[in-house]
Structure 1
């Protein structure tokens, strides 16, 4: 479950200068990311609480907009996104409730892929941090620890406390601390040069 309050959409909703076009774009991203696969009852509980937090934020925002634009509320385009957001959240909460009551969720073993990571665990973490920092996964709207845990599970690697391992990566005394990413770039460029020579 993404951290709803920290999504770009919610941040734009609290920005009176945000354009309608920006809101529509992020609204679509939000809709695409809202529904997740839950791998445990604990995740379902966290998702439920996250939806509740989002509801509270929407109610507060609605009150703020009403107070600041009592006569021209219909001109405030942020106001028109509140109702559909509530509807999406209500639907998601119904899904979460059903899954919780019927004990239906994806067991962690099911998210494991058919591929095995044969490199060093620190290399995998370096790659995962780069992907997260580049916002290529869920637009960056996912807790880094959770992402790395699932990323590792896909390759059959159990990763806990990835932040500690990332700290060790940052402490490298080499000229470049991104040794694995640098190696990947060099090898790929070498491959392309080799293909060009054929």
Structure 2
């Protein structure tokens, strides 16, 4: 279970026995590394919080802290681990409240705030682009098959996967307009923009 990920480490096993100091030191370092890894990745903040909280409770009420001799090696490592876990819980709380920003949190915010692309033109126009890109060989050095490329670009533009070849057949059957009508319109619009920009630059000189 997710909340047991920290209490099932060798550190918890050794602090309950009669391990030597070197063994406890090594297992303590491993436990701290596990906590750091858990808090750094934090793919699921809730599971991280539950695991830390459970570990804190188990450390707080561990037998080594309930005896009068709290200065032995085991109790020292238990108190050190407890202190670190509490600091990490505080850190997690700050992240969840927005006081601390981590790369993972920022990426989740960006993903949440970003608007997906949506192709709002005609599907057959998108097929022109797909076939044009494929013929130019500018994706994966032209080694990606059309049947793989088309679904990827459909998904990228938020279009439900369609029968690409059927649209291509319609393109080949065109009589009143060019086979590459949309691509030619793109070329014309781009050239017109370049012309306007060049004229504007000349006026600023």
Q: Which is bigger in relative contact order (C-alpha 8 A, separation at least 6)? A: 1
User: Which of the two has higher C-alpha Rg?
Assistant: 2
TM-score (norm 1): 0.44
TM-score w.r.t. length of structure 2: 0.42
